[in-house]
């Protein structure tokens, strides 16, 4: 298809498509004449992925470039490719100096060991959870992650990972992971607050 | 206790305490001399609440004032007081014009009816969930909220609401709700991403 059809089909404006081509986010089409190129389904899939990373993942263009580079590096195993997108979605957490941080981080490592979860030793989610635990302790909260571990495990193992097309095109797998992680995460958060309101009404009625 | 003791006990600096007094976020102490006032446990509880709203809830001072006004209005039932804090924690969502929005919002209303959840017809969480559903549909995702509803219901009814001291001081109930909602929400989100990494490793190994 020509660029005008790619635009119509994807809903992405032609100047935006040209910008993605210049930035290397979208691969070039097949040049069929000096001023004409042919695009195909792989371009449509890539545009969907860019939109997911930009609008739903809220990633800056520099991070999107890294994710796209991982998608295009066919030597990179799918699990690692997904990891690069996944890690980019979380907030950047800086480890804090001091013993309290060290203890919280060690607690996270012990938790994951105990669960037998296969999470990289360098996963930024470890620091992210350590920061949350540390804050809970500083504020004097009782900390019991067990019900949350169980909720996350059940959702992910029994539902979420079934929606990622691991064996199709690489773009589509990353897109599904990003959309599912962010949008179902948002849905879960708001459903939790709705359930709180309802349970509060029930108990205080 | 004197203001210096209140500062030491709460970890909040004296100039900050004075700022909260001027803004009306913290109630005045009992004046015992022209330049001296006595503070008590109610001031400590209030400072904990302000810190929770500010540091964990990330609320602007204008929203904090509304929450504090609800805490101080003893005629306001506890459920409604908690609702004011709770609603302030979510993002502000503007309904969009058009039929798609109307349908998504009607779907949320039907879902809550079907569940029998006691969520106010004016709860902003209804628009928040409608927005998420609409985005999922626009992006062509398969939408099935059932497992998320079940996860939220189980967590909230069986664990979370037990940690809110409904029958103690009003400040303490709001503080517990805010801390639990935000920090366990953050923990759940990161545990979910950890479980995804682990499950992806398992399936692709």
Residue B92 has what pLDDT?
Answer: 86
Nearest to A198 among B48, B117, B144 (CB): B117
Residue A204 has what pLDDT?
Answer: 86
Task: Tell me how close the Cα of A27 comes to any Cα of chain B, in angstroms.
Answer: 22
Share of residues in chain A with pLDDT > 70 (%)? 100
State the DSSP string of chain B. Answer: --HHHHHHHHT--HHHHHHHHHHTSS---EEEETTEEE--HHHHHHHHHHHIIIIIS---HHHHHHHHHHHH-TTS-HHHHHHHHHHHHSPP-PPPSSHHHHHHHHHHHHHHHHHT----TT-HHHHHHHHHHHHHHHTT-----HHHHHHHHHHHHHTGGGGS-TTS-HHHHHHHHHHIIIIIHHHHHHHHHHHHHHHHHHHH-
DSSP code of residue A180? I
DSSP code of residue A141? -
Share of residues in chain B with pLDDT > 70 (%)? 100
Mark yes or no for CB contact B198/A118 under 8 Å.
yes
Mark yes or no for CB contact A145/B82 under 8 Å.
no
Residues of B in contact with A184 (CB under 8 A): 148
- Map residue A32 onto helix, strand or coil: strand
Nearest to A184 among B52, B77, B148 (CB): B148
Residue B167 has what pLDDT?
Answer: 86
Query: Dihedral of the CA atoms B19, B22, B25, B30 (nearest 10)?
Result: 110
Q: What is the pLDDT of residues A151-166, one digit of tens each?
A: 999 998 888 888 888 8
Residues of A in contact with B86 (CB under 8 A): 193, 196-197
Nearest to A118 among B82, B123, B201 (CB): B201
Mark yes or no for CB contact A196/B202 under 8 Å.
no
pLDDT class for B158, splitting at 50, 70, 90?
confident
Mark yes or no for CB contact B160/A196 under 8 Å.
yes
- The chain A residue lying nearest B87, using CA atoms, is A193
Residue B150 has what pLDDT?
Answer: 94
With beta carbons less than 8 A apart as the criterion, state whether A159 and B120 touch.
Answer: no
Cβ pairs A/B, distance under 8 A: 216
Tokens matching residue B121: 């017809």
Average pLDDT over residues B133-144: 91
Please calculate the CA angle B165-A133-B86 and round it to the nearest 5 degrees: 40
Task: Tell me how close the Cα of B171 comes to any Cα of chain A, in angstroms.
Answer: 15
Question: Which CA distances in Å does B12 have to A98, A117, A140, B19, B153?
Answer: 21, 40, 16, 11, 37
Residue B120's Cβ-side half-sphere holds a number of Cα atoms within 13 Å equal to 16
With beta carbons less than 8 A apart as the criterion, state whether B152 and A195 touch.
Answer: yes
Q: Average pLDDT of chain B?
A: 92
- B30-33 and B36-38 beta bridge pairing: antiparallel
Q: What is the pLDDT of residues B42-88, one digit of tens each?
A: 999 999 999 999 988 989 999 999 999 999 999 999 999 999 999 99
Residue A59 has what pLDDT?
Answer: 92
- A30-33 and A36-38 beta bridge pairing: antiparallel
Most B CBs within 10 Å, among A194, A199, A203, to test the B interface: A194
Task: Tell me how close the Cα of B21 comes to any Cα of chain A, in angstroms.
Answer: 22
Neighbouring residues of A5: CB distance < 8 A, sequence distance ≥ 6: A39
pLDDT class for B177, splitting at 50, 70, 90?
very high
Residue A166 has what pLDDT?
Answer: 86
Quote the CA–CA distance of B17 and B159 in Å, as a whole number: 34
pLDDT class for B205, splitting at 50, 70, 90?
confident
pLDDT class for B162, splitting at 50, 70, 90?
confident
Neighbouring residues of B60: CB distance < 8 A, sequence distance ≥ 6: none
Mark yes or no for CB contact A120/B197 under 8 Å.
yes
Tokens matching residue B179: 């801390």
User: Residue A184: pLDDT above 90?
Assistant: yes
Mark yes or no for CB contact B123/A159 under 8 Å.
no
The H or E element that residue A133 is part of is: helix A124-138
Question: Which CA distances in Å does A6 have to A33, A54, A169, A172, A176?
Answer: 17, 19, 18, 17, 21
Q: Average pLDDT of chain A?
A: 92
Residue B163 has what pLDDT?
Answer: 85
Residue A134 has what pLDDT?
Answer: 95
- Map residue A196 onto helix, strand or coil: helix
Quote the CA–CA distance of B135 and B129 in Å, as a whole number: 10
Mark yes or no for CB contact B185/A189 under 8 Å.
yes
- Lowest average pLDDT, out of A67-71, A103-107, A163-167, B102-106, goes to A163-167
The H or E element that residue A92 is part of is: none
Residue A162 has what pLDDT?
Answer: 87
Residue A7 has what pLDDT?
Answer: 95
User: Residue B161: pLDDT above 90?
Assistant: no
User: Residue A205: pLDDT above 80?
Assistant: no
With beta carbons less than 8 A apart as the criterion, state whether A42 and B160 touch.
Answer: no
């Amino acid at each position: 298809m020509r660029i005008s059809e790619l635009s119509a089909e994807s809903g992405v404006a032609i100047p935006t498509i040209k910008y993605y081509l210049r930035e290397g986010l979208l691969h070039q089409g097949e040049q069929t004449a000096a001023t004409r190129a042919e695009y195909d389904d792989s371009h449509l899939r890539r545009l969907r992925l860019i939109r997911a990373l930009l609008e739903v993942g809220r990633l800056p263009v520099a991070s999107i470039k890294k994710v796209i580079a991982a998608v295009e590096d066919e030597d990179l195993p799918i699990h690692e490719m997904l990891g690069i997108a996944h890690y980019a979605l979380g907030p950047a957490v800086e480890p804090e100096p001091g013993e309290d941080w060290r203890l919280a981080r060690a607690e996270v490592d012990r938790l994951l060991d105990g669960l037998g979860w296969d999470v990289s030793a360098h996963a930024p989610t470890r620091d992210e959870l350590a920061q949350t635990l540390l804050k809970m302790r500083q504020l004097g909260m009782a900390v019991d992650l067990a019900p949350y571990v169980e909720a996350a495990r059940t959702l992910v193992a029994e539902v979420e990972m079934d929606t990622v097309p691991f064996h199709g095109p690489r773009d589509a797998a990353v897109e599904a992971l990003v959309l599912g992680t962010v949008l179902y995460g948002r849905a879960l958060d708001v459903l939790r607050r709705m359930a709180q309101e309802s349970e509060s009404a029930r108990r205080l009625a």
